[in-house]
Amino acid sequence: MNKKADVIIVGGGINGSSVAYNLLRDGFTGKVVVFEKDKVYKYSSTPRCAGGFRQLYTTDINVRLSRYSLNIYKHFSEDMAVGGEKPKIDFKQRGYLFLATEKMMPQFEKNLKVQHRNGVQSRLLDKNELLTLIPELNVDDLAGGLFCSESGYLDAYSVMQGYIKYAKHLGAEYVYQEVTDLVIEGRKMKGVRLDNGDIYEAPLIVNCGGSWGAQLSAKAGMKFSIVPSPRQIFQFTCEKPLENYLPLTMDPTGVYFRHEGEQLIAGYSEPIRSAYDYSWRREDFVEHVWPILAHRVPNFEKAKIVRGWAGIYDYNTEDHNAIIGKYPGVDGYYVAFGFSGHGMQQAPGVGKGLSELIRTGKYETIDLSPLRPERFTEHQLVVEDAIY
């Protein structure tokens, strides 16, 4: 006899676990099973991410998702305690800062309007204000910046573990096996096939498979323009410590940097290439990152690389945003993938939204319908300018 659930979630990363948690927390009484193929999350994107949290987006939907998530992350430790044990997510609200050249400022002024109408306390800074934040900054070629003090960075792995622990506490079952196929009969979702050939039945499947999610869909003929694209992060020290702890700072070139404990991390906007490549290359730091760091903050001239790592973006090549919602044409199939580098910070809102959509058939807290899968055939792309 096949095993049965009411909802199957493929992928127990930050998004899949947020969906499981929110469903059960919101009162869903059915059986929720999460399939995760990588029990230690070695190759999942969540633990490999930079942990950046920002509200400085250019589309209403991304700003709203971030704002919702901000409120969740601010109280995450208290709200997600299980058996008195609080997850320590280390949310450093040191701000998020986009540095701007003269040419970029008019666009930032426009972005500010989108952010303000959604309640974000972002503001434009002049050169002097930049220097109060980062006294060592080279502002010679800058006109100013766009800053939001409520944002910052956090420990994504601990957030994910917090969701997993609470979801299990509420009754979600985690099964550490790979889903190899979706089982569809006619136009109805029937379940999933596992790597040992077994079928696990459920009328409702949520695909939160990260950079593998689109491939599982494609096997059943549902195609998405998503590629797995590698990104590296470099951890380094500098001889002379900075006066202040850094906001997550984005240089006009797309190189970003922030503190990681007393050390620093940095990354850059790498060309999109379809590969599962988890190697990091010291020479990429030397060639693409270090010259920009050294120009921007003279203390970084004597940067000493400590380590590096790489992870995978599930990159939506059409409009660089998540694809979230019910898949049209197959009853019972929901997706949440294609996050393109900002899926950690959106996870609380994604889980809440999908919980509502699954339980009640509509969004209540945040309308995630702009991110629906049909937007591509409807030519209603969500074009976000601030993607790196």
Ligand X SMILES: Cc1cc2nc3c(=O)[nH]c(=O)nc-3n(C[C@H](O)[C@H](O)[C@H](O)COP(=O)(O)OP(=O)(O)OC[C@H]3O[C@@H](n4cnc5c(N)ncnc54)[C@H](O)[C@@H]3O)c2cc1C
CB of 329 to ligand X, least distance (A): 21
* Nearer Cβ to ligand X (108/315): 315
CB of 97 to ligand X, least distance (A): 14
* Nearer Cβ to ligand X (24/143): 24
Which residues form the interface with ligand X (CB under 6 A)? Answer: 10-16, 35-38, 41, 44-46, 48-52, 178-179, 208-212, 216, 231, 233, 267, 311-313, 337, 339, 341-345
- Both tokens assigned to 72: 């969740």
CB of 95 to ligand X, least distance (A): 14
* Nearer Cβ to ligand X (24/70): 70
* Nearer Cβ to ligand X (8/134): 8
At residue 93, the 3 state secondary structure works out as coil
| H-assigned helices in the chain | 14-25, 60-74, 76-79, 105-117, 127-133, 156-169, 213-219, 282-284, 290-296, 343-360
CB of 298 to ligand X, least distance (A): 25
CB of 248 to ligand X, least distance (A): 7
CB of 134 to ligand X, least distance (A): 19
CB of 340 to ligand X, least distance (A): 7
- Both tokens assigned to 135: 């006294």
* Nearer Cβ to ligand X (91/212): 212
Q: How many CB atoms lie within 10 A of CB 87?
A: 23
Enumerate the β-bridge partners of residue 296: none
Q: By CB neighbour count within 10 A (0-12 exposed, 13-18 middle, 19+ buried), where does 124 fall?
A: middle
* H helix count then E strand count, the chain: 10, 20
Q: 363 phi and psi, to 5 degrees?
A: -80, 140
* Nearer Cβ to ligand X (143/312): 312
Query: 116, 100, 96: which is closest to 108 by C-alpha?
Result: 100
* Nearer Cβ to ligand X (19/130): 19
Q: At what angle do helices 156-169 and 14-25 cross, to 10 degrees?
A: 40
The total number of residues shown for the chain amounts to 388
At residue 194, the 3 state secondary structure works out as strand
